[in-house]
Each structure stands twice: as structure tokens, then as C-alpha cells.
Structure 1
Amino acid sequence: MSGDTIPPEITQPNPIVSSNPTQNQQPTIPRRSGRVSTQPERYIVLGESVKNLPDNDDPYTYKEAMEDVDSHHWQKTMQSEIESMFDNKVWSLVDLPKGIKPIGCKWVYKRKRGMDGKVETFKARLVAKGYTQKEDIDYEETFSPMAMLKSIRILLSIATSLDLDIWQMNVKTA
């Protein structure tokens, strides 16, 4: 860069600030809109059903589930989950190597509610505390089945072109 060029910020004139403001000037008050904000009608039904739901009242621990008013539902759901794991041979019992701590697990509880806010089903899942796991020690690979949206669209278009009926179903355990 040559020494005869002056940076643009230096060449711009400084604004002149008057030390004697005009006596007639009043501070301007910002103009406010008188518009009343309303929720679009398409969201009113959803908003009302969400408002009627209580705050998260699902039990967080096993003890809370057993003290809950719906404890018999939680017990039945947990028994069903254990039976499902046993029937599907989810685990195999092995001896614990020396110096290794077993990975803990915990129950996760959730009440599934309908559009009217009433409880439809109780869900209880036994999950591993995966944050304590170490790769190649506690597990070798992970697997998470996912449906691709593209695949679902293809199946729906085939069903539509062949005029087939489509049924939705809830899979309890994959």
C-alpha cells in the first residue's frame, strides 16, 4: 500500500454537533400501533387442547410411579415390558469380567394422551444408562432403525396408483 492513500474513514467529514439545541424541539414519542393481536383460527383448537393438559405429571423414578394414583397401570406396563424383553431375547446373561462395573438402567414413564387430554395408554421403558458405556468394551456397534421419508412416499404413491387400502398400526416392540 502506498503512503499517499488515505483511509476512507479519515476523509469523511465529521458531523457537526450544535451546542445550542433549538428551544422549541420536544423529544419525539414513538408511535405505537393500536392493532390487537389475535391467534389465527386454525391454531385455536390446538391451543385449547394444549392449555387443558396438566404440566408434566409423569413419574420420574420407580418410587414416584409406585406412589402415583395410577400405580397399578405402571406395574402392569412394566411387567409387559419385561415379558416382551424376555420373549424377544433382548439380552443374554454372562459373567461380569473382573474390574468392570455393570451398566445401570432406569425406568422411563410416559402417559400418552388423546386429543381430549385423557390418558389413552401408559408407557414404561427400561433403558440403559448409556452415558456410562465405552465403545469396544460395553458395545461394538449401534443400530437405530429409521424410516426414510422418501420410502414412505414411494409406498404411498404405489398404494394410491393401485387403489389399495392403507392401514396404520402401532408396533409395540420392534
Structure 2
Amino acid sequence: MLEPENFETAVKHKVWVQAMEEEIKMIEKNNTWELADRPKDKEVIGVKWIYKTKLNADGLIQKHKARLVAKGYSQLPGIDYTETFAPVARLDTIRALIAIAANKK
């Protein structure tokens, strides 16, 4: 078993518990989340652990990685959110900016 299917399976293995502890430490260190009071008229979005075994080029285990992610897929349009936004720069825009910067030294 390279990656556990769920938290209940992962918590039985020391390497995955350590990976989850590292993820929590990084969340706290980076101030990724902030504890807030729950609004009475809103649903809470749950979280889920995702597990990944990172391998070296030769196929040996490099590290075990655990990520704590929000269950955004449980949200409903028009109820939980009204619009979405994902800022992504197009490659031709980046090239143009680099060309302008190089031209202006």
C-alpha cells in the first residue's frame, strides 16, 4: 500500500501520522488558516486528507506527503458562492512582459 484511502487507514501508520503532523506545522507556520466564529446561517465546508508517496527516479520512496484540503466540491453555486476567480497569466503575456523588461534593461 503506497497511499492510504482515508484518515482511518493513515492514522495506523507512523509515516503517515508524521506526514500529517508536518502539514499541520506548515499550516500554522504560514498562518494559512485563521480560526473564526461560525456564522449561524452558513454551512461549514469540511476538510479531507490527501496522501501521496513521492518516489525517487529509481522508484524508491523519497517521502510521504499529506495535504489537508477543503472540500470545495461540496459547495453549491448560488448558495455557497456566486462567482469564482482563478488568476492565471497567459504565456504570451508573460513573454511580452519579459521582452519589454529586457528592452528597458
TM-score between the two structures when normalised by the length of structure 2: 0.70
Q: Are 1:78 and 2:20 counterparts?
A: yes
The normalised TM-score by structure 1 is 0.45
Structure 2 letter corresponding to 1:64: T
What residue number does 1:64 align with? 9
Match of 2:53 in 1: 111
1:116 and 1:130 map into 2 onto residues whose CA distance is: 35
The within-5 A match list for 1:12-161 is 57-67=2-12, 71-134=13-76, 137=80, 142-143=85-86, 148=91
Structure 1 residues 145, 86: CA separation in 2 closer, same or farther (over 3 Å shift)? farther
User: CA separation in 1, counterparts of 2:22 and 2:34?
Assistant: 19
Uncovered stretches (5+) of structure 1, i.e. residues with no partner: 1-55, 159-174
Structure 1, 93-102 or 123-132: larger mean CA deviation: 93-102
Gaps of 5+ in 2: none
Work out the CA distance in 2 between the residues paired with 1:64 and 1:106. 13
> What is the root-mean-square deviation in Å for CA atoms of aligned residues?
3.0
Structure (1 or 2) with the larger CA radius of gyration:
1
* C-alpha distance after superposition, 1:57-107 (max 9, x if no partner): 31010111123xxx2221111111111111111122211111322101110
Greater relative contact order (CA < 8 Å, ≥ 6 in sequence): 2
Q: Which has the larger share of strand?
A: 2
